[in-house]
Each structure stands twice: as structure tokens, then as C-alpha cells.
A and B are shown apart, each in its own frame.
Chain A
């Protein structure tokens, strides 16, 4: 389900007021942070692994053209069919075609961000095809008509009491407690009949290996394993940046990903398939390589580091902004720090110009990123691009005018001193008993919750000159 656009500060304000959301998020992120920290600290070579991960993704993206052609050859040689989709509409049409060929109006789905990014479920529904989410959290989101708020834990904003109510209502189960095992069992019963009857599955992929054509999904629940083994046909929609050059690169990635994502040494299910194997698993495999804005990202030599992301969500879990606003404030399937650098680039800066500012630049995200994406650097870079390419264009907005004027003041020691004195004089109507309680205009947000110290009688440089 796609998001209504809204500037981050506006959307965040709404989410911040939700006390249930705040409590759910605090509990969930605190738990997952501690788990991650524990499993990372037990690896003496974690920093070397991160560096190896960074290099693998750098190589993958730097030579993407070459690796993609190799992938197409490998998958085709292994009996798969490769499709190239410029955008979501093309990808959706490919899935719909496969479903029609198998005379089904239902497909089962493995949790996949790429398919959420292109609103696959809605697109299929328009074509009379019902997509059934089989991941527990995605099922919760789908049944609730809700939106994902986390890359890995889409229903992180829901607690079990809310989920119990949802299942009672939507799955028609009268007797149900809020015990997680019981909730999972209810979902399992509903899903099992679908696994055994629906002939077409749709997945994303965590990795696609250029060298061998192997495609892999990493998951916790086993629903993915069901989807990629039981149906007659499998369609995997994979962003072109998901490529790994060599099979042995998995050695690094399969260590980095689960520890960063769920705080586990190893995820419960890793499914890797290469084309089709006669008599075993789906006999028809379609790999849809999705662009949907990615080549535009590639054109920015600094911004393209965002394509290194392996979707672990460690940056969300440590982000003090995400922890408080939750994922919906970002109005994108990619929330949190990685979303703040990825969404504006995928959609175009003018579509999400406030996201690069949805960060205090504290750097906690960079510290945990398993492939060392310097997210604060990219945020600052994208802020510059927004100012230069969006806000600074046409009739300049007042902030741009003010900031440029301020820069001209700061660059001249003489004008700087004049401004210091002007500020000291200009503030007197605002200062009350040693503090400023209310600032005007765009600075009003500061004094909403904080007092402002007024400019004192003597600047440091005036004191210094007097002393000499």
C-alpha cells in the first residue's frame, strides 16, 4: 500500500504523538540493538568483515554493467528466464503474465521490499490477481490494510494485543490469546492451505550471484522456503543493485547480514536456487531485474553508495530519530537513515526533499552499517543537492536567501563583528530575566521547549582585545 506524501516534519509530528507507537518502538529497538551488539562483539574480525563487505558491494556497483550481463548469462544457462524491468509497471506486467499462463488469480509472496517499492500487490489487484503475503509481519500489515514501518520487522509498530484483535477480526478466530506462539499458529494454519494450492510464487532476493546465477533469500520463518520450493513457477523481482560478483562473496554477506539484522549468528532459513532443477522445486523460474530509479542513483558518484545497502536495518534500530518517529514518518517503504538517503534518490529529490534533513547527523547509523555506508556523508551531500537543484531553483526560498547572506557576513571579520553587535542590540525586546523565552519566525521551534541564552555583554574577542 503506497504512502500519501507529506514533509517529514509534518508526518513526524503526527507519529510522535502516538504513545503506543513510541512504547512499541522503544521496546523493540532496544531489544534488537542489544542482541546485535552481543553477536557482533563476539566476532574478533567484525571490522575486517565490514571492510570486506564494503569492498564486495563497491566492486558490484562499480562494475554493475558487466556483472548484470554475466548474471543474465548464468541464469539463462541454468534454465531460468531473465526479464529487464525499467520500472514497477513493467515488473508487475511480467508477474501478471506468468500468473495468467498458470491460470491462477492468486500468487503467494515471500517478504520483499522491491515488490513493496513498486506496489506489486495493488498492481496485481488491478489486474484481478490477489497476492497473499506469507511472512507473518507482512500478513499482519496486509490484513490490517496498514503500511510497513520497518525494513525487516514491518509490523514493529504493532504489539501482540493489537495483532490478536486483528486476527480475531480478519481471520475469524474467536478463541485466541495474545501468546506469540498461538498467534503464529493461527497464521500458519491460514497460510498452509495457500502454500499447497497456489501455483505461482513471487519473491525478492537478498542476493543474486553473477558468477553462477544463484539467487538467495534469507529469512526466519520458513514461509520463504515454502514459496520458493512448492509452487510450479517462481518469479523473483530483484533490484539490480542486489548483485554479488562471486559465489564466495556469500561467505562474507551471510555473516554480516543476520548479525546486523536480527542479531542472530545465523538466520534460520537460507534458500539459494540456481535456475531450475528437473523434478525438484519450481519448474519455471523468472528473474526480473528491476531498475526503477537505480540507474539514476548510479549517476551520482557520492550518492550511489546508497546502492551498497543489504537491507539489514541495523541503521534503523540504532537511529534516535527512527526510534521516536517510527517508519511511517518517512512516507516510504525504506524508512530510517538508509531510507533518508535512498528514497530521495530513487524517486527524485523533488519528490522527497525533506528526508535528507530527517537526521541529527549523530553517526550511529554509519557505526553499525555492515557495508560501511557513510550515511551522514550522504545525507549532507544530498542536502547540498536539494538546496542547489530544488530549493535554489527558480524563485529562491527565504531560507536560501538568508543562509547565503549569512555566509557573506561570516566570511568578513568586519561584517561578522557588526552582526554580533547588531544581534546583541536586536535581542533586547526578547530577553526576560536573563533568558529568551520566545524566538520569532523559523526559530520559534527552538523556544517551544528550550530557553535561549541571550548574547552576553561582551564577546570573547572583545574580552581578548580589552585584556591585551
Chain B
């Protein structure tokens, strides 16, 4: 499931934002653009992209997800490198696209998946493995706990990449998170279909975050962070959930904005 690194560092990358970030976390997308451009990359955003299909595929609607697979491989067909700030969407492409093409009985789609999937990179792995950098010039003077999301940990096997990036951030104090590898209880539709069990898992994760003394908890997926952050907010803990990209985008000159609630129209 490793993402094969291209022979040379790309000059242009296409951003796959993921529907979830596009709609709910535009600040993460802006942060990814900031970091990639800071590294001298030209960032492209193919406007025809929508959703990778993970929610449907994981909820039993594999057949409904197939047109979304097709859309993804079409939109990103001619791109050298695709970067996404969602570990689970990247894992979806690497782990499930091939199976969905087979389920659809579409060998052409399977070939297209084989073409595109190796060029899909989760954001932190892209920085560390492809761009071969861990210091992106960030400044974030806070105590931070890192939660390894299950899909980035076990499907993408991002390993140390996000931690190496965090350790290079000036002012940042990385604190130990007990039982870090344990699932936070989000699990997509699991959080609503098995809301009570999800809540029990969340409570234990929140306890560990609070015990760590962190001011912020970070991860590679805003879906898990919406769940963890939603719990932190409900309990008025004063601890915030923030995507890794936003930490890396923060500098002395342009520090990360305080996460005041944005109220919609």
C-alpha cells in the first residue's frame, strides 16, 4: 500500500481536497496550498473533482461508489502527482479502488486505477517521502498531541512522517498521547449508526488528550478531528483539534488563526 515515489520531485501537483474538507474545512485546503507553494510547487485544483466515494463504499453502497471512482480517475488521469490532506481518502484510493473496479466488472477502470493510484499521496507522506523535507519553515508555539488516525496508521502506514514534520516546527512542543494507536471511535457512519459505542471510544480518547496536557490535538484527517474536536468543544475543554497542514502553514509572520467558530450566513 506504499505510494511509490516518482523518480524526480514534481514541479506541479494537483490537489485532491476531499469533499469533507472542501465543504467543512476550507482552512485546511488553504493551508495545504500555502505549504506546497512555500516549497515552490505549482498547485492545481481540478474543479471537476467531488468525492472519492469512501462513505458510500464503506457503508455498503459499493455499486453507488463506482461512478465516483470513475470520476476520480478521469479527473486526475494526466496529473503527475496528486496530494490530498485526507489519510482515509488516500487509503480509499490505494486500498479499495481496485476492488471496486473488479466488483463493477470493468477491466478498463481497473487499469485506470492502477495508473492513477500510485500517484496519489497523502499530504505528510508527500512532504517527507517525495519532497524529502521535514522542515517546511513552520512556527506554532503550542503544546500539541498527535493522534495517528487508523487509516493513516494501518492502511497507508505513514509511520514517522507526520511526527518528523511536527518535530521540525519551531516553538511546538510535541506531547505524548497515551494509547495513541487506539481508534478515536469515528469510523464514518459508525459514529451515527453505533453512536453509543462511538461515544464510549471518544470519551477514552478525549481523556487521553486531556491527560497529555496538549493545547491542540492534530491528525491527518479532518473526519476524525471533527469527531474529537466536536467532543472537546461540547465539554468546553478549551483544547482544539487542528489538521497537521494548518500547523505547517503557520509562521511567525502569519500565525495560524485562532479557531474561533465561524458562523455561516
A-to-B contact residues, CB < 8 Å: 8-9, 12-13, 16, 320-321, 324-325, 356-364, 366-367, 377, 380, 383-388, 391, 403-404, 406-407, 410-413, 416, 420, 423-425, 427-428, 431, 433-435, 442-443, 445-446, 448-465
CB-based contact A404/B64 at 8 Å: yes
> Quick one: which of B21, B51, B192, B234 contacts A451, CB cutoff 8 A?
B234
Q: Looking at the complex, which one of B29, B65, B262 makes contact with A457 (CB distance below 8 Å)?
A: B262
Main secondary structure of the interface of B (DSSP, over half): helix
* Residues 60 to 101 of chain B near chain A (Cβ within 8 Å): 60-65, 67-68, 71, 96, 99
| Contact indicator A320/B182 (Cβ below 8 Å) | yes
- Complex Cα–Cα for A407 and B196 (A): 27
- Given the known interface contacts A364-B154, A450-B202, the answer about A459 and B71 at a Cβ–Cβ threshold of 8 Å is no
Q: Find out whether the CB atom of B230 lies under 8 angstroms from the CB atom of A380.
A: no
Q: Is the CB of B61 within 8 A of A362?
A: no
Residue in A404, A433, A449, A457 with the greatest tally of chain B CB atoms within 10 Å: A449
Measured CA separation A420–B186 after assembly (Å): 22
Inter-chain contacts of A377 with B (CB < 8 A): 99
Please, which residues of chain B bring their CB within 8 A of the CB of A446?
A: 191-192, 195, 230
How many Å lie between the Cα of A9 and that of B200 in the bound state? 13
- Closest chain A residue to B96, Cβ basis: A380
**A445–B260 contact, CB under 8 A?**
no
The CA-CA distance from A460 to B30 in the complex, in Å, is 7
**Inter-subunit contact B67/A407 (CB<8 Å):** yes
* A457 lies within 8 A of B265 (CB): yes
| CB 8 Å contact bits of B24-57 with A (1 = contact, 0 = none) | 1111011001000000000001011111010011
Residues A460 and B17 in contact in the complex (CB < 8 Å), given A387-B61, A434-B260 = yes
A416 near B61 (CB under 8 angstroms)? no
Contacts of B176 in A (CB 8 A): none
Known contacts A416-B19, A420-B22; 13 additional CB pairs below 8 A are A9-B195, A12-B194, A324-B201, A325-B197, A360-B186, A383-B58, A403-B61, A423-B23, A445-B191, A453-B229, A454-B262, A456-B24, A460-B25
Contacts of B200 in A (CB 8 A): 16, 324-325
A383 touches B68 (CB 8 A): no
Q: What are 16 A-B contacts defined by CB distance under 8 Å?
A: A321-B197, A325-B197, A363-B154, A367-B154, A383-B60, A384-B63, A388-B63, A406-B56, A407-B64, A411-B68, A424-B264, A433-B263, A452-B226, A457-B262, A460-B26, A463-B30
- What is the CB-to-nearest-CB distance from B43 to chain A, in angstroms, rounded to a whole number? 9
A460 touches B29 (CB 8 A): yes
Cα separation A468 to B52 with both chains bound (whole Å):
25
Contacts of A325 in B (CB 8 A): 197, 200
- Given B21, B59, B262, which contacts A434 in the complex, CB threshold below 8 Å? B262
- The answer to whether A410 and B19 touch across the interface, beta carbons within 8 angstroms, is yes
Question: How many angstroms between the C-alpha atoms of A434 and B231 in the bound complex?
Answer: 15
B263 and A358 contacting across the interface, CB-CB below 8 Å = no
Contact of B67 among A324, A361, A411 (CB under 8 A): A411
Give the one of B22, B27, B196 with max A CB within 10 A.
B196
- Kindly identify, within residues 172 to 204 of chain B, every residue whose CB is under 8 Å from any CB belonging to chain A: 181-183, 185-203
Q: Is the CB of B48 within 8 A of A413?
A: yes
Asked whether any CB of chain A lies closer than 8 Å to the CB of B4, the reply is no
- Nearest chain A residue, comparing its CB with the CB of B192: A445
B257 at the interface (CB under 8 A from A): no
Query: Which B residues touch A452, using CB under 8 A?
Result: 226, 230
Q: How far is the CA of A307 from the CA of B104 in the complex (A)?
A: 25
Contacts of A320 in B (CB 8 A): 182-183, 185, 201
- CA of A31 to CA of B89, assembled, Å: 34
Q: Is the CB of A413 within 8 A of B262?
A: no
Which residues of A are found within 8 Å of B231, using beta-carbon distances?
449-450
A403 touches B23 (CB 8 A): no
Contact pick for B261, options A385, A387, A404, A433, CB 8 Å: A433
The residue in chain B whose Cβ has the minimal distance to the Cβ of A9 is B194
| B64→A442 contact, CB < 8 A | no
**Bound: A349/B190 CA distance, A:** 19
Residues B261 and A413 in contact, CB atoms below 8 Å apart: no
- Docked pose: A379 CA to B63 CA in angstroms: 16
Inter-chain contacts of B261 with A (CB < 8 A):
433-435, 453-454
Given A324-B200, A416-B19, decide whether A461 and B183 contact each other with a Cβ distance below 8 A.
Answer: no
Asked whether B45 lies within 8 Å of A451 as measured between CB atoms, the reply is no
**Nearest residue in B to A380 (C-beta to C-beta)?**
B58
Selected contact of B150 from candidates A321, A357, A362, A457, CB within 8 Å: A362
Return A277 CB to nearest CB of chain B, in Å: 48
Instruction: Specify which chain B residues have a CB less than 8 angstroms from the CB of A404 in the assembled complex.
Output: 61, 64
**Given the complex of chains A and B, what is the CA–CA distance between A448 and B264 in angstroms?**
22
| Contact (Cβ within 8 A) B264 A456 | yes
User: In whole angstroms, how far apart are the Cα atoms of A454 and B197 in the complex?
Assistant: 24
Does A434 contact B197, Cβ atoms closer than 8 Å?
no
> Complex Cα distance A330/B123, Å?
38
C-alpha gap A412/B71 in the complex (Å): 9
A425 engages B195 (CB within 8 Å): no
CB distance from B25 to the nearest CB of A (A): 8
